[in-house]
Amino acid sequence: MGTPEFAVPSLEILVENKFNVVAVITAPDKPQGRGQKLTASPVKESALKYNIPVLQPTNLKSPEFLEELKSYNANLQVVVAFRMLPEVVWAMPSLGTFNLHASLLPQYRGAAPINWAIINGEKETGVTTFFLKHEIDTGSIIFQEKVTIERTFTATILHDRLKERGAALVVKTTGAIAQGNFPSTPQKKLDNPKLAPKIFKEMCEINWNQSSETVRNFIRGLSSSPGAWTRMNGKYFKILYAEIADGNKELASGSIETDQKTFLKIKTKDGWLNAERFQPEGKKRMTVEEFFRGNKL
């Protein structure tokens, strides 16, 4: 659904609204950076700031973890940007477990709803809270809120917009459940639902033999991570943002035009895209002008 940062606003707004958060469950610290230093997740850092106990199990079914989790006697569990839970965990609280999902369910079930909504050119998405059940992302809907996808939104921008809107929805949902006054609507069964499967690097290569708008949506739907990529001069380039441009429509898809100073255009099936921001292999993210100050194509 998103990065671990997606969970931070939800935790903080729950605490600020005086809900009693008895513990936080998050992934074990991971090595990061050149030095591979063990680094805590953002939600762990936030929990420690509020002196909230943090559980970091490697196995969600281990007797030791389950015993510790049960000892907190929580009556409700809230899941945000976390892995799939076994039933023994999500069925533990008396009031159940609900999840925050970054789409308008039942559309875009899966691990990458933000990316796929933009890739598919959607003009609207949203956030949904729903009760967990066996099948992933299929439980009864509690609340939903719609969010407009602006033409210039990248996945990063939309992610940040949804995490704030989602945090407010988490508070609304928690309060409604605490008061025993909340909707619980079974999800509609769609004949051809749009899905949001996990995205891998090999899926992110740009196909320049598609329309300009299709490629443009693909680029912004994968920006800035994992990043849509292509090859130029035998090296990988992640294209982070591109806009439709004019050019000779008779050239082959994938052709390049540049003044080696201010623009870099690449031919699509029906036009051109001007790559405004990208990341060359082994280098930091930069604008076209920054790249051409020390490089040539």
pLDDT digits (tens, 9 = 90+) for 150-184: 999 999 999 999 999 999 999 999 999 999 999 99
Task: Find, among 206, 196, 202, the residue nearest to 158 by Cα.
Answer: 196
Q: What is the pLDDT of residue 233?
A: 85
pTM of structure = 0.94
Instruction: Let me know the angle formed at the C-alpha of 32 by 29 and 37, rounded to the nearest 5 degrees.
Output: 75
Residue 1: pLDDT band with limits 50, 70, 90: very low
Residue 141 CB coordination number (10 Å): 20
Q: What is the pLDDT of residue 33?
A: 78
Q: What is the pLDDT of residue 111?
A: 94
Q: What is the per-residue DSSP string for 238-275?
A: EEEEEEEE---TTSPTT-EEE-SSS-EEEE-SSSEEEE
Task: For tokens 């969600």, name the residue.
Answer: 60
Domain boundaries, the chain: 4-179, 201-292
CA dihedral (72, 78, 84, 87) in degrees, to 10, reads 50
Task: For tokens 């050239």, name the residue.
Answer: 251
Q: What is the pLDDT of residue 62?
A: 97
- Indicate whether 2 pLDDT > 60: no
Tell me how far apart the alpha carbons of residues 114 and 239 are, in angstroms, rounded to a whole number: 18
Fold of 4-179: Rossmann fold (3.40.50)
Between the alpha carbon of residue 115 and those of residues 2, 158, 197, 247, the distances in Å are: 9, 9, 10, 29
Both tokens assigned to 279: 């990341």
Greater confidence, 3 or 284? 284
pLDDT digits (tens, 9 = 90+) for 50-106: 999 999 999 999 999 999 999 999 999 999 999 899 999 999 999 999 999 999 999
Q: Where are the alpha helices (DSSP H) in 21-136?
A: 42-49, 63-71, 87-90, 113-119
Share the mean pLDDT of the chain. 95
pLDDT digits (tens, 9 = 90+) for 196-241: 999 999 999 999 999 999 999 999 999 988 999 999 988 999 999 9
Are the CB atoms for 65 and 55 separated by under 8 Å?
A: yes
The structural architecture, per CATH, of the domain 201-292 is Roll (3.10)
